């Protein structure tokens, strides 16, 4: 009743079509997965592999970082995904991914040069009673999380612009074959602004 418990060997395709998970995330989980190669690949690739690898290009890591997600490890037990992302890799075993349920609105956005290519930049945003959680991935480093507070005196447009500026000022981006650091920094502001305006429209 109060959490989703997802086994580490769950295929990405099963998450993509899971009715309850997509109702909870307003289709954001489906959106974060549908660009990953093709259905045949998503039937084989697992959420455990995506989360454990902590890959810089991971749509999955960006999506789940924006929610109240925990991982269950065989030795270490349950720890927040925010802690696990920066944890040194070891020989522990990932057992489950746990998403704690709370009232929220969430959306997912990404920029790709071609449809099934690795993303140039990813953005998952969640609006909760405690404020906004903004995860930015494919920097091309692994996803990072920003927790920001809205101002009741601001219009949604001003809030979105402020959040975009703050993320751009603090995010570290790099260049690779898919885009320059400057382009990624610009995209971070664009995607954050779009995501916040979309979420503010749901209030």
Could you tell me the pTM of the whole model?
0.92
Answer whether 99's CB lies under 8 Å from 69's CB: yes
Residue 203 has pLDDT above 80, yes or no: no
Q: What is the pLDDT of residues 1-54, one digit of tens each?
A: 899 999 999 999 999 999 999 999 999 999 999 999 889 999 999 999 999 999
How big is the chain by its Cα radius of gyration, in Å?
A: 16
Q: What is each CA distance from 56 to 33, 136, 138, 141, in whole angstroms?
A: 15, 10, 5, 4
Q: What's the rounded Cα separation, in Å, for the pair 100 and 156?
A: 27
Name the token pair of 94.
């990932």
Confidence label for 202 from pLDDT (cuts 50, 70 and 90):
low
**pLDDT on residue 126:** 97
C-alpha to C-alpha distances, 58 to 2, 17, 132, 136, 154, nearest whole angstrom? 26, 19, 21, 10, 33
pLDDT of 104 above 90: yes
pLDDT tens by residue, 48-103: 999 999 998 999 999 999 999 999 999 999 999 999 999 998 999 999 999 999 99
């Amino acid at each position: 009743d109060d959490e989703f418990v997802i086994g580490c060997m769950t295929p990405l395709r099963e998450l993509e079509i899971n009715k309850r998970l997509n109702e909870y995330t307003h289709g954001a989980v489906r959106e974060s997965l549908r660009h990953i190669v093709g259905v045949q690949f998503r039937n084989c690739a697992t959420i455990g592999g995506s989360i454990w690898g902590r890959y810089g290009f991971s749509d999955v890591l960006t999506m789940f970082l924006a929610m109240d997600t925990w991982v269950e490890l065989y030795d270490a037990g349950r720890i927040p995904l925010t802690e696990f992302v920066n944890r040194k890799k070891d020989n522990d075993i990932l057992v489950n991914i746990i998403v704690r349920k709370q009232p929220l609105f969430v959306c997912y956005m990404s920029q790709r040069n071609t449809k099934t290519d690795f993303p140039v930049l990813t953005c998952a945003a969640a609006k909760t009673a405690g404020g906004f959680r903004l995860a930015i991935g494919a920097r091309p480093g692994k996803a990072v999380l920003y927790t920001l507070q809205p101002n009741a005196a601001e219009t949604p447009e001003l809030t979105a612009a402020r959040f975009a500026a703050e993320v751009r000022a603090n995010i570290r981006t790099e260049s690779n074959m898919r885009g320059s650091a400057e382009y990624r920094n610009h995209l971070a502001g664009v995607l954050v602004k779009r995501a916040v305006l979309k979420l503010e429209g749901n209030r």
